[in-house]
Amino acid sequence: MNRRALLYAVLLATLCFPIGAFADGHHHHQHASAATIAARQKFFGTQNVDRHTGAVDPSKVIFSWTTNASFAAAVKGHVVLLDTYVTRLEVTPGRTPFVIQDLIDLAPEALLLGHGHFDHADNAAYVSAKTGAPIYATPETCDNMAIDATNNFNNGYTGTISTVVCNTMTGRGSIPGSEIVHINQFEPDISIKVFKHLHSTNTGVTDPDAIPIAATAGGVCQPTPTKGNTFPCNFQDPRDPLLFPAGTLLEPTTLNIATSRQGPGGPISLFYVFTIRGDRNFRFVWHNSTGDIIDSCALPNNNSAGVPYEPGQDVHGCFPGVLVNGQTVGDNLASIMDSLRPVDVEIGSVVSLGYNQNGERDIVSYIQHVQPDTFIPCHTTAVAVEGSSLEWKDGFYEALNARGVPEDDWPLVQWLVDPNDYTRPLVFDLKVF
């Protein structure tokens, strides 16, 4: 059985066979509340959560999609949130089969933010204050977390602002790829490395080979070209809202948990690398945006004078003439990604703000450097229209072909479809690695 077939078999097996108490005695939150046990079973599967203690099986890595680029993850028994945004923040479940209280009840140990845009960082300060979990983010995004904490406090939250801890990753105003930092919270079990990379952009360089896909009035894509970087059809099936009605929305005036739009904390983006130490180190990476490393361009976040906050960036977001380790910004980032291999799982944004310029070319470029065994897509409910995931899937395979990637080099793709795959555990058994 080849490696990809084995990975697929593991995913199926872990969904089918329940487990009892965990043999190695490795437990976190030994006295979890009934609410935490229920929330963890909801996100990670009843067979993977001890029904008495709430401990998540430490022999597994489990990802559970919570909309857009946000995931609840259990990594060797440690529970973390990768981004905290929820596309439909509701107090009774609707399209999204959970509410924000469920994220709090998970009792996460840490909140990791890829960047500070609302569709990634919303709710982070609130969840941190409620759970005591520290936030990890860029210094610029941490600035916004402090504003968010103040907003929460001023809108009647009964905790204190000091309960929100935001740990800064990378230096303020540093050039992407110029430094690699570490999160030590989960050592020695888990090594986490972090570096700044490029946010997707619609202000940079248009690929001359990009060929648009036209959409008919009936909402059906025209036949795609056989070559070139084609654009995905970004629209919702008209039946979708009828199939998945909304629940009761959280009243925004009750509690202000949205991320502040002040300051430079928006598109300055982090790339996370997790290595679970063992006989054979299991490694996964997560990036909630995918930038143009081919042209060294990212979305600019200009100040009031029109000057980007990231040094070396021009008004279009590109880094002309900027060298890091003797290479362009994009080439240096590509070299860092090359150095990460072998990578077992890559969770990455298939959606770029620049899809009208480059289609899904940029995510394929990341995959070519990271070379994961398994790829899990994300960012398919913001920028991407709700219910459009399968259109982006078509565009993804078009982009693989357009870049000339042989099928033998394609990763095993675990595509996620909104809203069917929310809270569906994706399970990787460390015992087989």
Whether the per-residue pLDDT at 170 is higher than 50: the answer is yes
On the 0-12 / 13-18 / 19+ scale of CB atoms within 10 A, 412 is middle
Calculate the CA dihedral of residues 121, 122, 125, 129 and round it to 10 degrees: -130
**Phi/psi of residue 221, nearest 5 degrees:** -65, 140
Residues 6 or more apart whose Cβ sits within 8 Å of residue 208? none
Superfamily of 3-432 according to CATH: Ribonuclease Z/Hydroxyacylglutathione hydrolase-like (3.60.15.10)
Element holding 324 (H helix, E strand)? strand 323-324
Whether the per-residue pLDDT at 8 is higher than 50: the answer is no
Average pLDDT across the chain, whole number? 87
Instruction: DSSP for 143-209, please give it.
Output: HHHHHHHHHHHHTT-SS-GGG--EEE-S-TTPPTTS-EEEE-TTTTTEEEEEEEE----SSSPPPTT
Residue 29 zone, left/alpha/beta (φ > 0; ψ -120 to 50; rest): left
Residues 6 or more apart whose Cβ sits within 8 Å of residue 172? 138, 139, 140
Among the ranges given (54-63, 134-143, 187-196, 252-261), the one the predictor scored with the smallest mean pLDDT:
252-261
Q: Which two tokens stand for residue 230?
A: 């084609």
Map tokens 């995918």 to a residue: 290
User: Which residue type occupies 58?
Assistant: P
- Kindly list the distances between the CA atom of residue 112 and the CA atoms of 125, 153, 167, 245, 344, in Å, as whole numbers in the listed order: 11, 22, 10, 30, 20
Q: pTM of the predicted model, to two decimals?
A: 0.91
Query: How far apart are the C-alpha atoms of 111 and 109, rounded to whole Å?
Result: 7
Give the tens place of pLDDT for each residue, 136-156: 999 999 999 988 888 776 555
Give the tens place of pLDDT for each residue, 229-267: 677 888 888 888 888 888 887 765 556 788 988 888 899
